């Protein structure tokens, strides 16, 4: 979680939070006369919290904090986060391969169901990621057959009561934005620089010259589309349709 004097950022995993962190730290330092003032005034803080979902370790401090972990005194500030096409996010997670050493689920259960683990192809990885039988109890397990990994993580991140939000979605009477905190601005990872520049220009008093620096930054985003088979796209859409319908409604080719 990043807290600036102007707003709060929730770092949803594998969406570009490293890029955001680099840009904002540069911006706020350049808009603060001395580094010692930068730190003393707390115009920019990078906070880590205990992880509350998935495989947790009380000694591990995670940069990917959720909405409910925002300190009370910071709750009135604007909150922003990044949303990414679930297809690209699954491919990015697959290649990042953190899951091969830091197992998402119980290792014995994984190896029993996926004998070749950790050697999985992309489609099998997507199914492994969404496997309802392997889902831990603190990862909305009762809803694992109804919602994919990305959707459940989205609810955990942005809803004050993820279980109630999941129940509402299941009625068919709500869309995703109806069941999460209402005042979150989402930047799209696919146009992250553009959205970040626009948000900073509209919500801060930062000098324009550092904002120009952001425009020249390159996120280095890997183009994942060449790996999207029809079967992969159809499967991910089925599991995370609420995210697609909310943020990518024109992706009709995968429905």
pLDDT of residue 38: 43
Mean pLDDT per 10-residue run, the chain (255 residues)? 90 87 80 51 68 60 81 91 95 92 90 96 97 92 95 95 96 97 93 88 76 59 80 95 94 58
Q: How far is CA 45 from CA 5, 77, 101, in A?
A: 9, 14, 29
pLDDT of residue 29: 75
pLDDT of residue 111: 96
Half-sphere exposure for 135 (CA within 13 Å, toward CB)? 22
Residues of the chain above pLDDT 70, percent: 81
Beta strands at 8-10 and 79-83: parallel, antiparallel or unpaired: parallel
pLDDT of residue 146: 96
Half-sphere exposure for 7 (CA within 13 Å, toward CB)? 22
Q: pTM score, two decimals?
A: 0.87
- For 114, residues 6+ apart whose C-beta sits below 8 A from its C-beta are 120, 124, 128
Contact between residue 93 and residue 149 where contact means Cβ atoms under 8 Å apart: no
Where residue 181 falls (left for φ over 0; alpha for ψ -120 to 50; beta otherwise) is: beta
pLDDT of residue 184: 95
Q: Cβ-count burial of 218 within 10 angstroms (0-12 exposed, 13-18 middle, 19+ buried)?
A: exposed
Q: 3-class SS at 129?
A: helix
């Amino acid at each position: 979680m990043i807290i600036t004097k102007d707003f709060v950022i929730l770092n949803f995993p594998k969406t570009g939070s490293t890029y955001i962190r680099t840009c904002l730290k540069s911006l706020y330092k350049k808009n603060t006369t001395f580094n010692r003032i930068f730190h003393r005034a707390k115009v920019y803080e990078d906070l880590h919290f205990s992880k509350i979902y998935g495989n947790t370790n009380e000694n591990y401090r995670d940069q990917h904090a959720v909405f409910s972990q925002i300190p009370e005194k910071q709750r009135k500030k604007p909150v922003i986060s990044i949303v990414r096409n679930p297809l690209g996010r699954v491919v990015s997670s697959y290649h990042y391969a953190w899951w091969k050493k830091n197992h998402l689920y119980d290792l014995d259960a994984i190896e029993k169901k996926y004998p070749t683990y950790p050697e999985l192809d992309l489609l099998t990885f997507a199914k492994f990621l969404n496997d309802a039988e392997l889902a831990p109890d603190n990862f909305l397990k009762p809803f694992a057959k109804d919602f994919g990994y990305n959707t459940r993580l989205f609810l955990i991140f942005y809803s004050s009561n993820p279980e109630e939000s999941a129940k509402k979605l299941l009625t068919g009477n709500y869309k995703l934005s109806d069941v999460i905190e209402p005042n979150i601005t989402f930047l799209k990872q696919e146009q992250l620089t553009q959205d970040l520049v626009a948000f900073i220009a509209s919500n801060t008093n930062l000098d324009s010259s550092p904002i120009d620096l952001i425009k020249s930054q390159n996120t280095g985003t890997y183009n994942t589309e060449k790996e999207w088979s029809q079967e992969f796209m159809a499967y991910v859409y089925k599991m995370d349709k609420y995210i697609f319908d909310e943020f990518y409604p024109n992706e009709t080719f995968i429905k």
